[in-house]
Each structure stands twice: as C-alpha cells, then as structure tokens.
Structure 1
C-alpha cells in the first residue's frame, strides 16, 4: 500500500509499505478521508513537542471496515471513525475515566504512525459508529471533539461569556460547542477573514481583531466591565497564552487547548486575586465524540462548512506546505483516497 511519510521537518515522501494484517483485538480500516489539522502542520514545521521522525501523520480519519476482531456491533463494510488516542486502560488516568491523558498514551499520527495511508489497523475498542454520517463528516468528528472536550472541561453553561483565542479549526469548534452550551461567545484572532467566518458561518456573537483593536477595552465594553468568565486558548502561541491571563473575570476559568513548548508566565497576584482556575484540555473522550456526532445529526453543527480545500491523496505532498500560509485561507483541508 502507499503511505505518505513526514521524513524530517519540512519534507514528505510517498513510500510503499505492507498492508497491515488483522491481529487479535484490532480492526482493519480502508481510509477514505483524512482531515489535515494543526498537529500535522506543526509536525511538518518541526514545532510539535510530542513528535519523532520519520512519521506517517494523520488522525482525523474516516474509512470503511474491511476486517475486524473483537468488535461487537460493528460490521465489515461499515463507515466508521475512531478515537485516535490509544490508552493502556490501567494507569491512574485510565482508572479515573480519563483515557485521553493516559500516562502511556499513543496518539495516532503523533506517537505512532497515523492514517496517511491506504489502510490502518486500530484497536477495536477505539471504533466509533458512523451513524449515517458521510466520510467528510466523520473525518471532522475528531477535531470538533477537541473543542467539545475543552468546553466540557470548563463547565460552560448558559450565562457564561466565553472568549476563544484563535480562530483556526480547533478554535472554531470550541466556539461552536460553547454556543451549543448556551454561552455568549467572543472570538479573538488577528486574521480578518477568519473572524468573518466566525460571524457569518458559525454565528459567533462578537469578534475582536487583536492587531487593530484594544483587546482589554473591547472585552470590558462587551461584558459591562465583568470580563469573560471563561477564556480558552486555541492558538498554542506563548504570547497569546500569556496575554489570556489578563482577560479573565474574577472567579473565571482559563482552559489551555493549544500547546506549545515554552514556559507560561503570569502575575501571581493578578491570578490569585481573581481566584481563577487554570486547566489544560488534552485530546477528547468517547463521550465528546458522541456529543459531536449527535450535534451533527441534530443540525447544531454544519461540519462541511469547515472544508475549504480538497485534494486527492497523491496531491498532498505538493500542496501541504501551501496550507501553512494564512493568505491561502485554509480552514480545513480534506484529503480523499479512492
């Protein structure tokens, strides 16, 4: 089978590999769609902190079951996605119902080879029913689940004012699920076209451009001086993360979905006097995947609006670097394999 390997930062190569064989407790999937996410882009740039090369990228995946073992309720030929964070089931996090932050987690396309290939073998416990969704929609469940998990971590509820920093795909999904939870949502970014997407396509209440507006003054204006009760970073930018501490309401919650390699710096007195809560949000759980699928089926989310670029698998190597350029207007690139 053909695979696409990120050999070193900035370089891809198509390589032939043996089609995986069915092994006990696993399911073999023929890949149909691959969504390109920030993790893939950062791996290509060499800025992803949990990464080794060479690696087959790809964890926003949809496909068709071709063989299976120990997968009750699933059938050959069924359209599926899967939870791509493979966990041990035994560590302190797994025992606490948090397999998304397992101490020995193996994320498809990050710690182990992913789905930029014609076939992939996954643990059968990770399978998620397609439930009538298209392959395009199924490939978008995982990135939307990241935002849904962050919103659940923050305990967002009606009456909250949620500031989401970063209007990339993960930030957009976070905004969607904060809106679904009943919050007033504010989007903060430096890209006018992405902010327009927030207003026009996903019904965000307010947008702020950090390059052209005074963020603190505008937030105070929009919240009658209270400031946002929840701030969620989806940038992975150290500068943006550090600035986010200053935007919090007293008693507020700050959730870091974005990831970067550096050290966070903030004023302890300012944080302390707010009795603020700081938390990270890593990956997602089956509960989040099911919430996303239900939201799609009930028309609360229109996932295919995210897809701005489409390519065939044999075009990825030539196109990939262009998706790093904000001028190209990429929200979500979707790869099809026949």
Structure 2
C-alpha cells in the first residue's frame, strides 16, 4: 500500500509499505480518508524535531473509516463507521498518568512523531483511541485533533465568560485557542503581525485584534482592560518576546498558558511571577474531554472550516505540498491530504 515517508530532512516521498491487519485483541483497522498536516510534521520535514528519527511516516490528524475489527472490540464500533483518532499513548504508571493527566504521559508516543503516523492507506489503532460523530464529515473529523490542542490550553487557563483572554499567534493552533475561548464566552483578543490572519481570527471567535507590528500591544491591552491587563495570556507562537509579554501584560493574579516552544532561552523579569502571584502553566496535547468539546463545537457549525483549510491535495501530491509549506509557511494555515 502507499504511504508518505519523510526519509531524511527536507525529503518526503511516496513509498510502498506492507498492509497491516487488525489481528490483535482490541485492535481496529482503519482505511484513512483524510489527514491534516501538523506543525510537528513541518518541523520533522525540516529536520528540527528532536523527537523524530528517520524514516518517519507523518500524520495524526485523521478522518478514517473502520475497515476491520479485531477481537474484544465493543459492539459500538462497526465496519464502515467513520471515526477520528486520539493519536497519543499513555503508560498508566508515570506520575502524570497517576494524576489523571494522561495527555502529558512521560512516555507518550504521538503518531507521526515518536512512531509512524497515518499518512498511509491503512492503519491499525486500539479501539480506545477512537471517537466519532454522526454529524461531522471526514474532513471535519481530520480537523478535530489540531483544535483540541487549543481547547486544552483554554481548559488549562480555566477560562470563563468573565475573562479577557489574549492569544498570541493566529496559526492553526492559535485559532483553536481562539475558538475554545470563544466557546466559553470569553472576550478574546487575537495578536499577530498579519492582518489576513487577524481577519481569520475574527471568524474563529476573536472579539478584538491587535497587529503588534503596527500598534502598541501594551497600550491597547491597557485600554481594553481599564489598566488592569488581561486575565489570561495564551502563547501559541514560540518566541522569547511573546513568552515575556505574557507575564508582563497579564493582570495581577492572572494566568499564563504556554503551548509554543521558544526557539531560544528566555530571560524573564521574575519579579512579576511573585508580585502578581501568577499561575504559569504549560499545555501539552489534549484530553478526551477536549476532543468531545471540539466535536461539539464543530457540530454547531461555529468554526469556519473552509477558511482554515488552505488547500487539499491527493496523496501523490502530499510530498510537494509539504515542501511548499516549508518554503512559504506564512501563506498556509492548514493542508489536508485526501486519500
């Protein structure tokens, strides 16, 4: 069967691999129909993902149809059913798993990152990783997982309808944050340096936007909050400057959530941590509850799916699409591969 493999940095190609079968207890064989490229796929392609070895089949944003069912799979799962997949693993034994935070398992292996992913015709997964919806298309199902990352960050920030939430970055993950905070009826301020991305952020639920290249971030946020600063700052860019801005601009007793990885060491004025008594939290992957929240959000029709998916290509064109994204990252929000 056909698959896309990143064989080495800056090289992806269409390859033939053996077909799998759902032979193990609790396993389900899926025929993959739609896969979204993730930012981690791009960093893997560029050779910048330290968790990836080569060759690697990417892909963990999945819309698929059940092809075959192994033994001891519950009757709710049936051949021909459309599903999506939670692509993470959890050991059940580490400190995070014991605390119920399986999304950040110490030994997690995400599909397409630490292990091969789903950018292939068939893939086997445990039935416990399946979710479904009678209302979502396969295209929408493939959009669920990337949005869960943003929804999880919103949950980490304990966002409520009383909050003003600032989101740094209007890429695919940032748009998920914006949608998640909007779903909780918060006031959402999107910050970026691209006016087109800020317009898309409005369609995803942002109530206010700031182009930090053209406007004073500090002055605008002070005006919006009567001098207090926002209640929650969520960073989805990965720059030292935005990491620092979170603690500088957030209100006293505020919450800061980091999704992005800063590409360089970050120097802080640490007095703000103590003076403001800040809650500073990381956010990784997503919980099952986040998947359920995103499914409900997409079912409501509130998310502008067509505007977020920049282009859809067939499997044969997936390597070229990944190369194009690497060359022009600012022009692409989300690429889908249709099998």
Report TM bin, short chain.
over 0.9
CA 1:328–1:240 in structure 2 vs 1: closer, same or farther (change >3 Å)?
A: closer
Aligned pairs for 1:1-12 within 5 A: 1-12=1-12
Cα displacement string for residues 288-328 of structure 1 (whole angstroms, at most 9, x for unaligned residues): 10111112222333434311211111001122222235576
Cα displacement string for residues 168-203 of structure 1 (whole angstroms, at most 9, x for unaligned residues): 01100100110111110001111121012112x223
Query: Are 2:94 and 2:105, in contact at CA under 8 Å, matched by a contact in 1?
Result: yes
Query: Are 1:307 and 1:334, in contact at CA under 8 Å, matched by a contact in 2?
Result: yes
Number of the residue aligned with 1:145: 148
Which has the higher mean CA deviation after the structures are superposed, 190-199 or 76-85?
190-199
CA distance in 2, matches of 1:319, 1:298: 30
- Is 1:88 the counterpart of 2:91? The answer is yes
CA distance in 2, matches of 1:223, 1:49: 40
Which has the higher mean CA deviation after the structures are superposed, 188-197 or 47-56?
47-56
What TM-score results when the alignment is normalised by the length of structure 2?
0.94
Aligned pairs for 1:67-86 within 5 A: 67-69=68-70, 70-72=72-74, 73-86=76-89
What TM-score results when the alignment is normalised by the length of structure 1?
0.95
Query: Are 1:141 and 1:293, in contact at CA under 8 Å, matched by a contact in 2?
Result: yes
Query: Are 2:200 and 2:307, in contact at CA under 8 Å, matched by a contact in 1?
Result: no
Instruction: Report the number of matched residues.
Output: 336
Query: Are 1:322 and 1:328, in contact at CA under 8 Å, matched by a contact in 2?
Result: no
Query: Are 1:49 and 1:260, in contact at CA under 8 Å, matched by a contact in 2?
Result: no
CA 1:327–1:89 in structure 2 vs 1: closer, same or farther (change >3 Å)?
A: closer
Query: Are 1:2 and 1:14, in contact at CA under 8 Å, matched by a contact in 2?
Result: yes
Structure 1: state its 5+ residue gaps.
Answer: none
CA RMSD of aligned residues (A): 1.6
- Is 1:188 the counterpart of 2:191? The answer is yes
Number of the residue aligned with 2:47: 46
Number of the residue aligned with 2:59: 58
Structure 2: state its 5+ residue gaps.
Answer: none
Which has the higher mean CA deviation after the structures are superposed, 235-244 or 53-62?
235-244
Query: Are 2:20 and 2:123, in contact at CA under 8 Å, matched by a contact in 1?
Result: yes
CA 1:195–1:302 in structure 2 vs 1: closer, same or farther (change >3 Å)?
A: closer
Aligned pairs for 1:1-338 within 5 A: 1-22=1-22, 23-69=24-70, 70-72=72-74, 73-199=76-202, 201-260=203-262, 262-326=264-328, 329-337=331-339
